Amino acid sequence: MNNFQYSRANDVADVIRLLAADPGAKLIAGGTNLIDLMKENVERPSRLIDISRLPLRNVEETPDQGLRIGALVPNSDLAYHPLIEQRYPLLASAILAGASAQLRNMASVGGNLMQRTRCAYFYDTTTPCNKREPGSGCSAIDGLNRNHAILGASNSCIATNPSDMSVALAALGALVHIAGPTGERTIALTDFHRIPGDKPHVDTNLSTGEIITAIGLPPRGFARNYSYLKIRDRLSYAFALVSVAAALELEGNAISEARLALGGVAHKPWRRLEAEAALRGQAATPDHFGRAADLLLEGAVAGSHNGFKLELARRAVVRTLMQAASGTPQSQAHKKIA
Amino acid sequence: MNGYVGTPTSRVDGRAKVTGAAKYAGEFAADGLLHGFIVDATVPRGRITRLDTSDALKVKGVVDVLTHTHRVALADKDEAWKDEVAPEKGSPFRPLYDDRVKFNGQPIALVIAEDWETAKFAATRVRVEYEQEAFATDLETERGTSAKVDQPHKPRGDAAAALAGAAVRHEADYVLPTEHHNPMELYATTAVWDGSGSLTVYDKTQGVQNVHKYLCGVFDMKPEDIRVVSPYVGGAFGSGLRPQHQVVLATLAALALKRSVRVVLTRQQMYGLGYRPMTIERVALGAKSDGTLDAVTHEAIAVTSRYEDFSRNDTGWAEQLYKSPNSRLSHKLVHLDVATPCDMRAPGAATGVCALECAMDELAVALKLDPIELRLKCYSDRDQSEDLPFSSKQLRECYARGAEAFGWARRNPAPRAMRDGKDLVGWGMATGVWEALQMPVAVRIVLTANGHAEVSCAASDIGTGTYTIMAQVAADALGLPIGNIDVKLADSTLPQAPVEGGSWMAASSAHAVLGAAEDIRQELARLAKAIPDSPLGGLNASEMVLVDGTISKAGDKSRAVAIADAMRHGKLERIEKQKLNQFAEDKSHARNTHSAVFAEVKVDEELGVIRVTRVVSAVAAGRILNTKTGRSQIMGSVVWGIGMALHEETVMDHRFGRIMNANIGEYHIPVNADIHDIDVIFVDEPDDRINKLGVKGLGEIGIVGVPAAIANAVYHATGKRVRHFPITLDKLLG
Amino acid sequence: MADTTIPERIPINLVVNGERRALEVVPWTTLLDALRDRLELTGTKKGCDHGQCGACTVLVDGRRVNSCLTLAVMKDGAEITTIEGLARDGTLHPLQQAFIDHDAFQCGYCTPGQICSAAGLLAEGRARDADEIRELMSGNLCRCGAYPNIVAAIEQAMSRS
């Protein structure tokens, strides 16, 4: 690790003050990704601002029947929270598909949104990487890109976002509450992460000096018809090749509302409203699900080693929607795919 | 005999391991201990033109930075660097020796500081410049540069002609990727400086005496001035057979600074050590339509470094398994700008038998024969390479017992014919084979009058259970409770032992214990008979046994003398016997262990996700000294086989000549969720020819055949034959 | 010119296995390195230093975490339980005994992390069957491949607690 200063913040105002005073500072809560990257000298903050003791650990109901989740709620606490288990089981399932029990105990909700790509070139400081060193080039485009993006990538970066939780949050239409030097603001989770464009070093639309304070969940939880399916190279404790969050509301066999997001395929959780719109009013059949998958994957581009993701993602979307429609969500412990 | 041998005795080192008391190499304390952190090369080939340590030296807490231009003397002859398991041909790698870079990740400097974090930080401040040279690291593109290795296999008959004329032929390439051992413990050495020039070196190694001799040579030290100790080894699987970078560097630093120094490799740096080399295996089988073989050819093309020729027996295994009048076997090497490969669990066999057993499955399909039936038709009762009978070979029984336990008879032979909901179900099987090797080992037993015995030997226990089986054998041979036996291992000053590897240590160490215990028995017999009015008067020593803390007439416990009494009368507080056990040379028989492995996979038809739901491994490996630890060894090997089949692959970017998954998050080994039912069956295999106890060893046999059984099951499930391992789900899509 | 200065030490207190321990750490010191190098509690293992193997698992305020990704300075005041703190007065914790009974290890290096992780698992109360144990123990790699025995050991300890 590089030489850094350590400061402990007591409240949000404290954080904003400390961030303003040191542009090279980073926030640390669970640290599961940041410490890893600091050990690799990929992240070299001048200061760590310890926010782990901030009072942002509540899960509370909002007047509109939604939920407000404090940014510091540990991932495991959120997954096992009764309100999440009962009303937003898609979110619980996605969280439990990620990482390990230990890491979920440590990782905060806000930190989960901030986790950076697993691209091997990003991690290896001896190789070019535009995300790590803007302008140095992308080693993955002509290199080992089996795990890389097929959607929304650019000529400067084909990295993927590794979060499972974010995929479910995207499908659920979550909001990100942010505090900064100019006050508080709220943005949609789907607008929180960026596509790489020509600035792949910027992962999110969180501005300098800002902190995530909470995640907002709208009232609709899709607790009856949902599924999170994660496909990976071993049966647990591995990042997704492709993951799907699917949520439906059904009237009989007709779809009245649909939500669909993909993980492992883009720089952000991948959601397209056209795909969901195409499902509304349709019967819950494999054909309609296939059509939605095609819309969701429109514009997908294969690299030299990740072409399989196109077909895998299509099949996974159909399968996950089938699981959701039939009320047989994928178990994260029992590995047979429902 | 008390009868510990052959029972499921719990590990004698269990309590130390579950309480955290067991100390591994990087955990020994020393006054004023310094910590070294290695700087490694970031190019695969070239010359270091500048190595600027000035900034690193400015870091508070840094004591020194050692480099090839700033170090104590190192041996300049290859002989000194050749450890007991070094490849015959080549010039071993020498850390910090000169300005040459031979592989990416090569250690080129050692930063030494008062604490580890400071050393690691300062290592980032070492500035290195290289003159890079053209390099090659890709076996597949360099395949054409392969050179044949001399191997003992002699061609039999005319395989080419027999293949050409065979009624049914199968020929294919099977590609096995580079794999890394990834033991859980990081490679570590704590070199403790005693103040007067002597060193105690706590090292993670599979052979303390190998390291000892190597260090004496490399640093031109007297044997008595260096002691190598390694009481617990957190896994090694072959990676610790040769002395590794960290032991040279820690010793170098301790000698240079006259301080105690610890060097621990990072997980990433462990990818700069040895590995299972990527191998392209070309197997051709020709058979008559009845399923008997006419010809076997097997050619392996494997990676080695530019500086050493590492090769193992990939291709010879059909000679032990399958009767064929014609065979041709060859092994070729491609020299690349990489570190030298090394032994990794069942080296040669894990890869070569995988190819052979996949090919046999493909042949069975072509012949429309059950895979077991094909193997029985080709069953060889002789090792055809030397035309020798086997000391024992219960492989037929392995097939029978394994098939029975697995329920093989219920298999529908057609691919894609068995289902479980959305899963395609596949049942596959394969044969495993390994050598039953044994080596000279010496053991010292010190028996004290209180009925306790200390059994000591330089051998290592790398998790295999050596402590436990030696205690069992000693307890039985000395007639003492196992709790009275204290086993001391892995100290270079203890009686001679080779590296722990090749599955030879169980048989070798057990017989060494028997040898020393026999001398104890003789001594006790002499003492007991010398007692006035001894109840053993008139008996020969050969009529006496050690049992229940006494020496007594065999079969008649009423004529007994307590060990304590015998020793008291002889005015002895302790009896110390040391004996080197050498096995008589016997070239009249081939010695092998065998297995039949059965695997069930469930493959999601649409998504290609594979689950290995059941494995049955029926093993014939002579007498099993400890059925509990033995079962664990086979079970663990099956887990390895699952990893080899589905997960493991070291991935290199050949543009940079650099491993891109040098960690244990993206180099996938099986996790708990990947592993389901594993049924281990030990087939009774008496063998009074191989050695007194009939022991053959279990370390390797368990992995051999497993990847092929799984690959064959995947074919049976899906109708897709994946010949490029690992079988990841993308290879099943489409 | 590269920065060659290192951070200042910061005093912290930890309650380790019931005992109050005061120490000074540089902010970059992980809880794992603090335990192993400063407090000489080497039962907690370093297997990857990147949260990928679970060998460093300890309980912090009763929850299992990867100590390699935990900065010691952030745990000022926390209660830490390591493998050395599980046995009481020479009597093994039921998990420790079960690991011996079921031969749930070979080399022993992942074992302290497995046992601490299993202790966390039992406290969480989320694993009800073998599949759930497997999934919730998948953050602890065992290269010797003792997984089925680890599951059996945990089942034994679960049934007795």
**Is A191 part of any domain?**
no
**Is C4 part of any domain?**
no
The Cβ-side half-sphere exposure at A94, using a 13 Å CA radius, reads: 33
Q: How far apart are the CA of C28 and the nearest CA of chain B, in angstroms?
A: 8
Average pLDDT over residues A6-13: 97
Residue C3 confidence class, pLDDT cut points 50, 70, 90: confident
Which pLDDT value is given to residue A277?
Answer: 98
Number of domains observed in the structure of chain C: 2
Its CATH architecture, for the domain B439-581, is: 2-Layer Sandwich (3.30)
CATH class given for the domain over B18-134+183-266: alpha beta
Q: Helix and strand tally (H, E) in chain C?
A: 5, 5
Q: CATH number for the domain including C142? A: 1.10.150.120
Q: B208 φ, ψ to 5°?
A: -65, -35
Q: CATH number for the domain including A273? A: 3.30.390.50
Same structural domain, C62 and C25: yes
> Does residue B421 belong to the interface with chain A, where contact is any CB pair within 8 Å?
yes
**Is A42 part of any domain?**
yes
d(CA B279, CA B333): 9
d(CA B702, CA B692): 23
Same structural domain, C67 and C50: yes
The chains found to touch B (3+ Cβ pairs under 8 angstroms) are: A, C
Q: Which of C40, C63, C85 is the last residue of a domain?
A: C85
Q: Which of C25, C51, C85 is the last residue of a domain?
A: C85
CATH entry, B363-436+587-731, from 3.30.365.10, 3.10.350.10, 3.40.50.720, 3.40.50.620: 3.30.365.10
Structural domain of C49: 10-85
Of B606, B661, B673, the CB nearest to A236: B673
Helix (H/G/I), strand (E/B), else coil: A87:
helix
Rg (C-alpha) for chain C, rounded Å, is: 16
Which residues of chain B are within 8 Å of residue A139 when distances are taken between CB atoms?
Answer: 653, 655-656
Q: How far apart are the CA of C106 and the nearest CA of chain B, in angstroms?
A: 4
Which pLDDT value is given to residue B2?
Answer: 56
Proportion of chain A in helix, strand, coil states, percent, rounded to 5:
30, 25, 50
d(CA A328, CA B331): 53
Which residues of chain B are within 8 Å of residue A142 when distances are taken between CB atoms?
Answer: 655
**Over chain C, what is the mean pLDDT?**
97
d(CA B386, CA B631): 32
Query: What is the pairing mode between strands B652-653 and B592-604?
Result: unpaired
Average pLDDT over residues A195-201: 98
Which residues of chain A are within 8 Å of residue C6 when distances are taken between CB atoms?
Answer: 3
Per the document, the length of chain B is 734
Per the CB < 8 Å rule, is C71 touching A4?
no
Q: How far apart are the CA of B479 and the nearest CA of chain C, in angstroms?
A: 24
Same structural domain, C76 and C104: no
d(CA A86, CA A326): 18
Which pLDDT value is given to residue A146?
Answer: 98
Which pLDDT value is given to residue B331?
Answer: 96
SS (H, E, C) B512-563: HHHHHHHHHHHHHHHHHHHCCCCCCCCCCHHHEEEECCEEEECCEEEEEEEH
d(CA B81, CA B98): 14
Number of domains observed in the structure of chain A: 2
**Is C58 part of any domain?**
yes
Report how far Cα B44 is from the mean position of its chain's Cα atoms: 28
b/e string for B689-713 if b means 16 or more Cβ within 10 A? ebbebbbbbbbbbbbbbbbbbbbbb
Taking residue B331's Cβ as centre, other Cβ atoms within 10 Å add up to 24
Structural domain of A44: 5-52
The answer on pLDDT for C1 being more than 60 is no
Per the CB < 8 Å rule, is C42 touching B27?
yes
**Is C1 part of any domain?**
no
Could you write out the DSSP letters of every residue in B240-256?
TSS--HHHHHHHHHHHH
Same structural domain, C81 and C100: no
Which pLDDT value is given to residue B321?
Answer: 98
- Tell me the per-residue pLDDT of A218-234, one tens digit each, with 9 for 90 and over: 999 999 999 999 999 99
d(CA A186, CA A174): 10
Which residues of chain B are within 8 Å of residue A3 when distances are taken between CB atoms?
Answer: 121
Q: Which amino acid is at A218?
A: P
For chain B, residues with pLDDT lower than 70 are 1-2
**Is C3 part of any domain?**
no
**Is C76 part of any domain?**
yes
Same structural domain, C129 and C106: yes
Proportion of chain B in helix, strand, coil states, percent, rounded to 5:
30, 30, 45
**Is C153 part of any domain?**
yes
Q: Which of B15, B19, B464, B661 to mutate to test the interface with C (most CBs of C within 10 A)?
A: B19
**Is C5 part of any domain?**
no
Active site residue B299: no
Q: C130 φ, ψ to 5°?
A: -60, -40
Same structural domain, C75 and C22: yes
Average pLDDT over residues C101-122: 98
Taking residue B197's Cβ as centre, other Cβ atoms within 10 Å add up to 12
**Is A14 part of any domain?**
yes
Q: Which of A100, A123, A331, A334 to mutate to test the interface with C (most CBs of C within 10 A)?
A: A100
Residues with Cβ within 8 Å of B234's Cβ and at least 6 positions away in sequence, in order, are B24, B183, B184, B185, B204, B463, C45, C47, C107, C108, C109, C110
> Does residue B671 belong to the interface with chain A, where contact is any CB pair within 8 Å?
yes
- Tell me the per-residue pLDDT of C139-153, one tens digit each, with 9 for 90 and over: 999 999 999 999 999
Which pLDDT value is given to residue A39?
Answer: 98
Largest separation between any pair of C-alpha atoms in chain C: 61
Per the document, the length of chain C is 161
Residue C160 confidence class, pLDDT cut points 50, 70, 90: confident
Taking residue B160's Cβ as centre, other Cβ atoms within 10 Å add up to 15
Q: Which of A102, A118, A234, A330 to mutate to test the interface with C (most CBs of C within 10 A)?
A: A102
Hey, where are the domains in chain B? Answer: 18-134+183-266, 363-436+587-731, 439-581
C-chain residue closest to A106, CA distance: C65
**Is A203 part of any domain?**
no
Query: What is the pairing mode between strands B592-604 and B574-581?
Result: unpaired
Q: CATH number for the domain including A27? A: 3.30.43.10
A-chain residue closest to C8, CA distance: A5
Taking residue B49's Cβ as centre, other Cβ atoms within 10 Å add up to 11
Of C1, C106, C134, the CB nearest to B672: C134
Same structural domain, C115 and C69: no
Binding-face residues of B in 611-670 toward A, CB within 8 A:
611, 646-647, 651, 653, 655-656, 658, 660-661, 665-666, 668, 670
Q: Which residues pair with B229 in a beta bridge?
A: B202, B491
Q: How far apart are the CA of A172 and the nearest CA of chain B, in angstroms?
A: 25
**Is C117 part of any domain?**
yes
Tell whether omega for the bond before A218 is within 30 degrees of 0, i.e. cis. no
Same structural domain, C103 and C54: no
Same fold yes or no, B363-436+587-731 and B439-581: yes
Of C3, C69, C120, the CB nearest to A31: C69
